[in-house]
Structure 1
Amino acid sequence: MDDADASFEDEERERSVDCQPLQHQRREEMLDDALAAADSGKAMYLAFVVIGSGFLFPYNSFITAVDYFQAIYPSKRYEFFVTLVYFYTTLCAVFLSNVVLRVVGLESRIRVSYVLFCFPLVTVMVLTSVISNEGTDTTFAVTMIGIVVVSFAGGIQQASYYGFTGMLPRKYTQAIMTGESVAGLAVSIDRLITKAAFSSCRTSALVFFGIALVFNIVCAALYEFVQRTSFVQHHLMTCHSVHDHVGVYRSLRAENVTELQVYSGTQSNDADCIQLDKHNTTSELSGRFGLLLNKLGEGWQIRKHVIRRLWHLMLTISVVYFVTLLLFPGLLSEVKGPAFRDDWLPVILIAIFNLFDFVGKVFANWHYKWKEGHLIAISLARFVLIPLLVLCIVPCQSPAFGSASEYVAMALAATIGITNGYFGCMAMVLSPSRVESTLREVAGNLMTLMLLLGLTAGATMAFLLNHLTSSEEGSLCYNSNATVMNNSTC
């Protein structure tokens, strides 16, 4: 009888571990919904919206102040440099964040990124104070180095926060993404006010970047407060200890992993809850280097497992942002028409995109049971927006849509914005529920990496397409009789 009881207990234990993915997902969703109700006052949700806007606020500040940088560097293509520098550096930062996930803790990564943000913001304020007329090649290089630092810190922080909120109920991942859209709108309003309030562009730039610096400090303080609340600590402890008595994840056996044990730990990094067996470690090595290789090897096995679960969502978010960056802001800024002044139309189109991107991310708070295949199909269907927008630009002297080109472009800007906001946000929000609780930070980091891959590829392709519609010689819109004027002064 004792043997039968022991056998029965073993079967029950194995059945609880080797549960079906759908049942696991439903339990996770029910637990998330129940625990999210604790934030009844929405204070925590709003805090994550502010934090989400914080890691894009410095970058948006450098982009939105393009009028100031064009004035002090009239011979430089500032907007071209800053875009490519940002996305390639951020991509490297997110990749590095995935590599060091098991080496550097979550809290350390976030805190260091806030410190790094301060240096370029202070530097640009100092340069603004000392540059007398026009900047030099040296000051331009220093500005670009500052943008590299902003990009690196932003990439590390973005990946870390998505991993952080992946351990919380799903609505807080959506809050982070909403904050990203809020950042663009807030910085635009900030620049309009500072530009209108001060006649000197240098003074307005000083105040503008000073506000960005203060906001960064506020976000750092808000993070320290949020991560110490009982609400967040409860979810982090739940994530670290939810599988503290189980022994085997059989789904990994196909990858030559004999067992993946999950135990209750005290470390801040949820990936540290996971331990692989001797077949995937470097136990023969000793010392710190051997331990480092051991952790990296374990991390790779974990990521292979997560990728198998999330490849549909990873592909969706990458394609969504590839199409968006191919069209925005490059091709949108090339639309011309008689109804609006040429210098106002790009501003209007970009404002429409930012507005509807924000609306799309807000709508993502109301969940629809999307299947992964449907999300991939919709993300691929957005490619039809590319030729439609191109027809609003070429032939340059008489676009295919004629006098309606501006209004068609406005409709397209709204469509690009709302589909980018909604489906990009849905892919990110759904990803944590597709993996075990102890793997949510890893999932958030991998999703951010795919997001940045799409952004970087889209920005690169946009540069190639923009050449076809620019006013440069050899492009489709080149006009040999046109004169180039630069009335920017500072």
Structure 2
Amino acid sequence: MFTPYENGAPVKLEGKYAAMAVCWLLGNGCLFSWNSMLTIEDYYVNLFPRYHPSRVLTLVYQPFALGTLAILAYNEAKINTRRRNLFGYILFFISSLLVLVLDLATSGKGGIGTYIGICAISGVFGVADAHVQGGMVGDLSFMLPEFIQSFLAGLAASGVLTSGLRLITKAAFESSKDGLRKGAILFFTISAFFELLCVLLYAFVFPKLPIVKYYRSKAASEGSKTVSADLAAGGIYTQSGQEVEEDSKHLERLSNKELLFQNIDYAIDLFLIYVLTLSIFPGFLSEDTGSHSLGTWYALVLIAMYNVWDLIGRYIPLLKCIKLESRKGLMIAILSRFLLIPAFYFTAKYGDQGWMIMLTSFLGLTNGYLTVCVLTSAPKGYKGPEQNALGNILVLFLLGGIFAGVTLDWLWLIGKGW
């Protein structure tokens, strides 16, 4: 194994902040297309009023994401991470273009055929997400915790950006004919360009940063086979054959099963965080919050507030003094969030919009904060290949929580005649 850092880490790891910026953009790209679809749901609700698109699209997306990631996580040690992540970002790019093409081809008309097409693209987004989110979190798990934090902040920032764009487009096009459609077209045009940017960043910029090359070289020296293509893209080549066989005992790693058993509390933490969040956001916030003075702006404002506070929550753990790392403390905090379910129910029924905005903000804040706390704490103490595998396993449970949450979200419809 050739590494330019044979004597350990260099005194100064160049490119840390550039890598954090790229991680932020790549995290943004991981969910930008999907968040665009979520954020323009007022357009889809208007286009398909009988089909509950705010719930159905998420419900279609998640099985594809979860099923694909389960396969990828199981075979993680054999998968070329570079190909996996590039495939995911390219798929996001193509899918964003397809949404645009479908809308233009049908002239923005509804109907079951168009709806099925949108649902199919939603499923493709799920496949792309499984490739990118699991691949990136696994890859970044053996690097600096700040890289995972930046990537996760980018995920949340995609929600903030899309919500902000949606508010702007709604204000700009509200009085014009086909205003909702014009906003949707603008969204997916921007989305397609942004996903293309992510493809280029991951392919040509990220692997060449010195700090990234160092951590990937370190992971390769510990037995990781998933980083060889990324190292080659950065100009570093690994040796195969006898040297690897001679060091096989040194390179032994825990199995996925052992990693899961050792970190089952972290896995359950992530599952529970997202079960709760997705049982409320976005379906309940889009359809079940009653009538208020903000009118058609109300659901958009709630979703925007959730996204903003989710982003803020993901930066709070950077302050070490208030970062929660106790495994028991994390579990208690996560279980306590379930008190938000009756809080949302009674606020929607009896409270005014101010209380609902406050609750939604708290939901976002705790979601972001706890996600970063779990995903930056869990990989500590493991070798590179184990950290990569653990990152994939934890994201699998995260997506499992999302799937369970969007399924449970339908329970809010009980008694509403559907």
Which TM-score band applies after superposition, normalised by the shorter structure?
0.7 to 0.9
Residue matched to 1:185: 160
Matched, 1:148 2:127: no
> What SS is found at the alignment partner of 1:177?
helix
Closer, same or farther: CA 383–197 of 1 in aligned 2, 3 Å: closer
> Which amino acid in structure 1 is aligned with residue 199 of structure 2?
A
Contact 2:77 2:389 in 1 (8 A): no
Residue matched to 2:343: 388
Report matched runs for 1:208-357 at 5 Å: 208-224=187-203, 225-241=205-221, 243=222, 262=223, 267-268=228-229, 302-333=255-286, 334-336=288-290, 340-357=293-310
> Which amino acid in structure 2 is aligned with residue 119 of structure 1?
I
> Which amino acid in structure 2 is aligned with residue 468 of structure 1?
I
Contact 1:435 1:443 in 2 (8 A): no
Q: Which has the larger radius of gyration?
A: 1
Matched residues in 2 for 1:172 and 1:346: separation? 32
Provide structure 2 residue ranges, at least 5 long, that are not aligned to the other structure: 1-7, 232-239
Identity fraction in percent: 25
Residue matched to 1:378: 333
Matched, 1:111 2:86: yes
Matched residues in 2 for 1:187 and 1:347: separation? 11
Closer, same or farther: CA 449–349 of 1 in aligned 2, 3 Å: same
Closer, same or farther: CA 110–314 of 1 in aligned 2, 3 Å: same
Matched residues in 2 for 1:320 and 1:364: separation? 16
Contact 1:306 1:439 in 2 (8 A): yes
Superposed CA offset, 1:210-252 (max 9, x none)? 11100000011111211222221111001221x4xxxxxxxxx
Closer, same or farther: CA 445–47 of 1 in aligned 2, 3 Å: same
Contact 1:36 1:169 in 2 (8 A): no
Contact 2:39 2:163 in 1 (8 A): yes
Closer, same or farther: CA 268–335 of 1 in aligned 2, 3 Å: same
> Which amino acid in structure 1 is aligned with residue 78 of structure 2?
V
CA drift at 1:38: 3.9
CA drift at 1:467: 1.0
Matched residues in 1 for 2:226 and 2:359: separation? 50
Of residues 405, 424, 441, the one that matches 2:388 is: 441
Provide structure 1 residue ranges, at least 5 long, that are not aligned to the other structure: 1-30, 244-261, 279-297, 474-490
CA drift at 1:381: 1.1
Matched residues in 1 for 2:226 and 2:31: separation? 32
CA drift at 1:437: 2.6
Matched residues in 2 for 1:361 and 1:437: separation? 24
Report matched runs for 1:401-480 at 5 Å: 404-464=351-411, 466-468=412-414, 470=416, 472=417
Matched residues in 2 for 1:268 and 1:388: separation? 49
Q: CA RMSD in A?
A: 3.0
> Which amino acid in structure 1 is aligned with residue 42 of structure 2?
D
CA drift at 1:37: 6.0
> What SS is found at the alignment partner of 1:432?
coil
How does the TM-score come out when normalised to structure 2? 0.84
Matched residues in 2 for 1:158 and 1:263: separation? 19
Matched residues in 2 for 1:416 and 1:79: separation? 19
Higher RCO (CA-CA < 8 Å; seq separation 6+) = 2
CA drift at 1:134: 2.3
> Which amino acid in structure 2 is aligned with residue 336 of structure 1?
G
Residue matched to 1:22: none
Superposed CA offset, 1:60-82 (max 9, x none)? 11111223333433443222220
Of residues 50, 53, 63, the one that matches 1:88 is: 63
> Which amino acid in structure 2 is aligned with residue 207 of structure 1?
L
